Amino acid sequence: MRNVSRNYRGWILACLAILWSVPGLAAHLTPTLAKEQLGVLITDARLPRTLAGDLRSGLTTRILIQVELLQQARSIGHRDVEVDLRYDLWDDNFETTFRIDGLIVSAQTLGKPPEVTAMLAHLSLPELFSTAGLTGAKDLVMTARLLFNPLEKEQMEEIRKWVTENSRPTPNVATGSGGGLAAPQPPSESRTLFDRIFEQYAAGASVAAPFVDSATSKPFNMEALNREK
């Protein structure tokens, strides 16, 4: 039984290693170590095509990064990092706020959109997990899921209720009304945004977003990470 379990873990690690090694598939994630804390460096994250417009919209662009620390394919730590980017219409700059599990950890002001995209292309999130208890730990992997402008389940439920309540009633099947041919209104192209979020919830996600990217680190151990420091 134990052998089977080991084989299974081996397969997961192998798959994670393959995922990590395929170029262009997703963002790259590198574990970092500073002040006895594990962090991550996310590079080459794919950004939504609408990001430039979103950044200039004057509204807050929110990026939720769900970081997971795994040991032998078992989760041993989770952090929700939120990056809020808000364009100030009068000062022509971006207020950037970082939160970890809801607590503000840093805030900075960035100038033009290229500065923002450069920051996102080389996103450093230090001090996420304490290394206490991880001395000599092996087979560690970190994963990150980046959700751009995510929606909470409650918010989506409210929208779904609104949609259902505002759907056109289907005419009853009178003598010649066409029965099964009662074609619904055509969904608009913009509705694909709605459908994409909606389908993530249908698949059981607790948080969904119109654009998602993910990254997985190469398997590492604490000893090697300490040496690299």
Q: Are 72 and 7 in contact (CB under 8 A)?
A: no
Helix (H, G, I), strand (E, B) or coil at 162: helix
Cβ at position 92, least distance to another protein in Å: 11
Residue 191 in tokens: 């509705």
Cβ at position 126, least distance to another protein in Å: 18
**Closer residue to another protein in complex, CB, 118/159:** 159
Cβ at position 180, least distance to another protein in Å: 4
Query: Which residues lie near another protein (CB under 8 A)?
Result: 50, 53, 56-60, 64, 80, 82, 84, 89-90, 99, 101-104, 149-152, 155, 158-181, 183-195, 197-199, 202-204, 207
Work out the number of other CB atoms within 10 angstroms of the CB of residue 142: 25
Secondary structure tally for the chain: helices H, strands E: 6, 11
Facing residues of 71 across strands? Answer: 74, 140
Which strand (E) or helix (H) includes residue 6?
helix 2-21
**Closer residue to another protein in complex, CB, 3/154:** 154
35: left (phi over 0), alpha (psi -120 to 50) or beta: left
**Closer residue to another protein in complex, CB, 129/220:** 129
Cβ at position 6, least distance to another protein in Å: 28
Residue with token string 């090694």: 21
**Closer residue to another protein in complex, CB, 72/143:** 143
**Closer residue to another protein in complex, CB, 133/189:** 189
Cβ at position 36, least distance to another protein in Å: 22
